[in-house]
Structure 1
Amino acid sequence: MDTRQKIIIAVLMLGTLMGSLDSTIVILAFPTISQSLHADMLSTLWIILIYLLVVAVCTTQLGRLGDIYGRSRMFNTGFGVFTLGSLFCGFSTGIGWLILSRAVQAFGGALMQANSGAIVADTVPVEVRGTAFGYISLGWTSGAMLGIVLGGIITTYVGWEYIFFINIPIGIIATILGFRYVRDNVRTDAHLDVIGMLLLGAALTLVSYAGVDFAGQGLAQTNIITFILGIIAIILFIVYESKIPHPLIDFHTFENRVLRYSVSAAFFLSLGYLSVVFLITMYLQGIRGLSPLYAALLLTPGYIVGSLLSPMMGKFSDRYGARLLATSGAGVLILATFLYLTLQLDTPLWVVLIASGVSGIGSAMFFPSNNSAVMANAPHGSYGSISGILRTVQNIGILGSFVIAITVASASIPRDVAFQVFIGTTSLIGGVSEAFLHGIDASLWASVAIMGIALILSWLRGRSIGHGDRKSRP
């Protein structure tokens, strides 16, 4: 890669890092924000849910805007919007304003996410594209790690507002660099699918609300009806998308075998593994009685290992293709989950450190190679749309994992206690701890099954021979 391409990758890494940092830094600040703004726990939970919802619903459409008006222009605008949203978040004086500000922040993050992969495909030669995606994955894992560490430190010693304010100087610098170096002249015809976006948004919102309501109220007529309406909305979305010429998710795109299975594997891995992280956090805080910061630090080896290995794994993907590497990565993540299944009430905490490190290896093996395979098999001229679809299905998986985590917690022990444990404000003792541990184990087995589906789909993509799977064949 030449100097300009390296600068572009650095800016893309920075955008990924900021989005990732904000997804983890908020979790540790939940109790403090709730107390500071005098908000109930259910309302506070929407600080993270609104971010995931906006990103999941808008990403594909914003990728199409990149196809129409220029991917770099949309990406750079996203940096500015994200920075402005961070400013609004920091100055929020009520929970409603903070949730609205998080939506603005998420819109900027979606602009960056939707177009970053397409910019790589436009500017980086195919023979080093896996390496480029490896560095972008490095931005994601580094951001998640920094979010965990900084979230605990800033919330404890400075104030929760500054978990948002730290984005502002970074965002200003990155926006300036982006408009100067990240440029393109690529324009293609694309069409927006507003109705499809609204249907998807309604479906995800209804299902998420049902999960949160179940966590707070238990099984009730309200969350049952809401969940059923969400399923109906999903069915309507699928039917509608299959009948219009320019759908939000073009199912005809997936006639390409490698693309179809790569995107599907990304969805199921996101759906299966993120809930593992949340559940282990609940184990450390609720059962072992650790502080949020100490619990988070035990999970940092995975992020560190993933950060160090992602560029290297991206290079391996360029040389050997995605099938073996990504499938092995899914297997390693399943192995990490099996290690977590050995945790008991008095298990030495070094087991968590080892399992976290193993998960970092698996993530570094799967994501750079899988992303490279997706973009290498995207139809020419639709890189923005395909990048948006990939991000959309991954974000839907992340949202689903979050809902799974709080639902399992609520089904395992008394719901009010479960919700307190989930946000790290209550420790469990005695028999309740043992019952909660059984609930966590049941959810971990479900995660193993979901990631097993991802592993199978990753292998079924077909045989590949290096260079981002351009030589793929069944």
Structure 2
Amino acid sequence: MCGIAPTAITLIIFRVFQAIGGAMMASNSGAIIADTFRREKLGRAYGFTGMGWNLGAMLGIVLGGIITTFIGYRYIFFINVPIGIILFILAMKYVRDNARERQRLDILGMILLAVSVSMILYAGVRIASVGLNLINLITLFIGFLVLVPFYFREKLFTSPVIKFSMFKNKIFRNSVLASMFQGLGFMGVAFMLIMYLQGVRGFSPFYASLLLLPGYVLSGVLSPFMGRFSDKYGARLLATIGLVIMMAGISVYLLLQVNSTIYIVLLGSAITGLGGAMFWPANNSAVMKSSEEGRFGTASGVLRLFGSLGIMGSFIIVIVAATLAIPRYLAFEIFVGTSKLIGGIEKGFINGMHISFLFLIAMLVIAALLSLTRGNENAGTYIKNNHLK
């Protein structure tokens, strides 16, 4: 439906339905893995899912660049249809339900959380798109205000959407927050690099996407091995080192200028890919290992929620940074590959890009501190007596 949407409004509506399906799939995938594999094998399992995610992202970048450059953006949506059909058939054949628990759905809690997150993210996107104004500030304030009744609702309901007692576990709390700040500090990097490669260097969307592949390839290949290391030695040190390596990779991008060698982009991509391979499987397994049985779905959903908030925040950061140097409409035109910076404003954009990279590195510093202070989970052992009550 997104591919045939006649207007921007209908496209947004269909994307909402797509997001609902994506949320159901993403939040349950982590729980399915935790239910299927023993705890001492979770790191390896999440390593293989990380490999799949990176290989999928790599193919998505290449195919997206080809389709956008040579065919048209609408066909990006159509390519998901046969993939979705195949995956649906495979899921129905191989995915099996474990023991189910009869629980009441917290409809009111879901509505309150959806309203809060939607208003916060909408305000953030509007601030990035049109700037700070009274309406955006009010929307943002109401979004945070709705979290108050949501919190009390969850404390009273027997089967809450988010069980806040889970956050009493330091490993779980720090791992989830590390995921959020990692998203804040890294996911906007690709957005800014695409703007640099297309707007400053004048590359096509296809060629610009190819230059970001080394990180995805390296991360995909190494993720299973890094997951195995996290099972053997624990997640804390491995995930923290991964975040430090990601900082080093983004620091390489600070060398970019108007006519810099393109090998800087390739080097930075490879370094951040290595860091990602170390962080994601280890951090995900730490979250699930520190969760009580029967709550894997909730834990996976919370991890995805905080990670998504970080991703959206990261894009908002880089968009705001870009629009400090160039007009907003030009920033979006550059990203979709329809405009190029001319008239000597490239240097202003690059200065803004460097500032955004420094801010993103600061977010990764916070993520690394959270990761380092999370404590050691019992790696390689089955945790029978989880203290989350």
Considering the TM-score relative to the shorter chain, is it more than 0.5?
yes
Q: How does 1:5-154 map to 2 (within 5 A)?
A: 88-154=1-67
SS in 2 for 1:404: helix
- Judge conservation of contact 2:290–2:377 (CA < 8 Å) in 1: no
Deviations 1:138-170 (A, max 9, x none): 111111111110011123333433322222222
- Judge conservation of contact 1:373–1:468 (CA < 8 Å) in 2: no
The amino acid across from 2:204 in the alignment is: S
Task: Determine whether 1:294 maps to 2:189.
Answer: no
Q: 2:162 maps to what in 1?
A: 249
Q: 2:322 maps to what in 1?
A: 409
Q: How does 1:276-295 map to 2 (within 5 A)?
A: 276-295=189-208
Cα distance in 1 between the residues matched to 2:129 and 2:87: 40
Cα distance in 2 between the residues matched to 1:184 and 1:358: 39
TM-score, normalised via structure 1 length: 0.76
Cα distance in 2 between the residues matched to 1:183 and 1:206: 36
Q: 1:460 maps to what in 2?
A: 373
Q: 2:182 maps to what in 1?
A: 269
Report sequence identity in percent: 47
Task: Determine whether 1:391 maps to 2:292.
Answer: no
Cα distance in 2 between the residues matched to 1:118 and 1:190: 17
- Judge conservation of contact 2:243–2:364 (CA < 8 Å) in 1: yes
Q: Judging changes above 3 Å, is the alpha-carbon distance between structure 1 residues 289 and 234 closer, same or farther for their aligned structure 2 residues?
A: farther
Cα distance in 1 between the residues matched to 2:147 and 2:263: 42
Deviations 1:437-474 (A, max 9, x none): 1211111111111111110111111134532795999x
Q: Judging changes above 3 Å, is the alpha-carbon distance between structure 1 residues 465 and 292 closer, same or farther for their aligned structure 2 residues?
A: same
Task: Determine whether 1:438 maps to 2:386.
Answer: no
Cα distance in 2 between the residues matched to 1:326 and 1:314: 10
TM-score, normalised via structure 2 length: 0.91
Task: Determine whether 1:194 maps to 2:107.
Answer: yes
Cα distance in 2 between the residues matched to 1:353 and 1:428: 22
2:220 to 301, 307, 310: 307
Task: Determine whether 1:317 maps to 2:230.
Answer: yes
Q: Which has the higher contact order (CA 8 A, sep 6+)?
A: 2
Deviations 1:312-370 (A, max 9, x none): 11111111111111111111111111111221222111000000000110111000111
Deviations 1:227-273 (A, max 9, x none): 33334334554465456554332221122221111111111101211
Larger % of helix: which? 1
Cα distance in 2 between the residues matched to 1:361 and 1:338: 14
- Judge conservation of contact 1:321–1:464 (CA < 8 Å) in 2: yes
Q: Judging changes above 3 Å, is the alpha-carbon distance between structure 1 residues 276 and 91 closer, same or farther for their aligned structure 2 residues?
A: same
The amino acid across from 1:256 in the alignment is: N
Task: Determine whether 1:425 maps to 2:338.
Answer: yes
More displaced stretch, 301-310 vs 184-193: 184-193
TM-fit CA distance, 1:202? 2.7
More displaced stretch, 157-166 vs 364-373: 157-166
The amino acid across from 1:114 in the alignment is: S
Cα distance in 1 between the residues matched to 2:381 and 2:189: 29
TM-fit CA distance, 1:98? 2.3
Q: 1:22 maps to what in 2?
A: none
